Structure 1
């Protein structure tokens, strides 16, 4: 079997990604209301009642807003660092909360979840790799700067969801207060297009099937700028994974990954 996934929402107003594989269904982040997550999932042919768990990358509201209702009403198990779980509002049932370390590996059904710490202004922030033994999906957003830890963590994935938050000049010239601009551009903020391109160039490999540019700022970036920046990196490497720009206000098309042929680059399960 291979992973199937869909980006339900991506941006500062809410982030959520659905993954199916290993006999289970999970969410990576749940930054929308449970109702909206259910609506987005239904729009791509899924059903929230079939989801078993959510893995939260960090505790900001645009990544955990729906966690308490998902745990209480739908019985989802919520996995995240201790710092992340402390920021979930709405009194989720304590027995549904599962603290994990930012370098942990753990299983949800037939899926292995691998975490790595990320530099961001949220305690316990992490990137996530979901693997089923045949294929793997890496997710990294809300990253202040590329690090060697993150690069190694995401090395060899079949699909990559990569933050490309802002264009530096648009951020400088944009409407945000100076303090917020410094936060976004700082080492604990968000990746610029140029920083994302640098990390992407290091992560590219012939087995990469899918690339989604994520968490674009609606004020400080444009989809065409992000796409052109990533496209140049792909062209320089003579590689052509399917490239999409994740959207804030509607879900992306579901993606079914292909299993690897013997001899292809990949990391052990």
Structure 2
């Protein structure tokens, strides 16, 4: 899901050929009270959480991830400080087919889906709950009105969560309604709740090193190597023995998000393919797309 922005704001720092910002600073782990958001107010005190934060363009964009259960449970929040997401981004999160892709990672059915369409605070998306798991994906407005004339109250945050564990201390409805920027009162309450919890570990930074995939009509399986050029861009290469070809490609983060992006590749025999990739906590970097003859290409980048 690619997030786009609306505002009289321009990004600094390096960009790719399509003008997308590549400047992402890894801020590492954070304690419950260091979070920009009140997320830990809705989680039971535990030392099992792993945290990781990133910022883009000196804090204009801020991203936090909390994972537990060996990566099977997660909360991710992406927030835009001085701008907001476009209405097309809202429409994507209001698309049940897109939510279904996330929900398939948890044993919930479409009968469990609940649509979110709240006027204040503006919230759009879906969540699902059964007796074992909860999962949700939505946009929401966190900050108040800005002085920009074209600020129509569009969302400035994207939230995704999923778990089949017991760490949530509230219902998904309460979490969705109350998740927000952290306040001083939140910090006091969270500090008290987590006072006996050891410092939380940071996410392990395992480098991406290999690519494994398939190319319909050409090869059932190919493999190769991966290198990271920047925090927002990776390069990969592999061979197609049956075609006597070498292929090289690039995957780049979408604008203002680390959860998805685009990729493209070229081969020495003239083949070209492109598509999109997604990345979720505890999972591999998964990509899919097609070549110029509409043959499906899919692969994973792994550590």
The TM-score, its normalising length taken from structure 2, stands at: 0.25
Name the structure where helix makes up a greater proportion of residues: 1
The TM-score, its normalising length taken from structure 1, stands at: 0.28
Name the structure where strand makes up a greater proportion of residues: 2
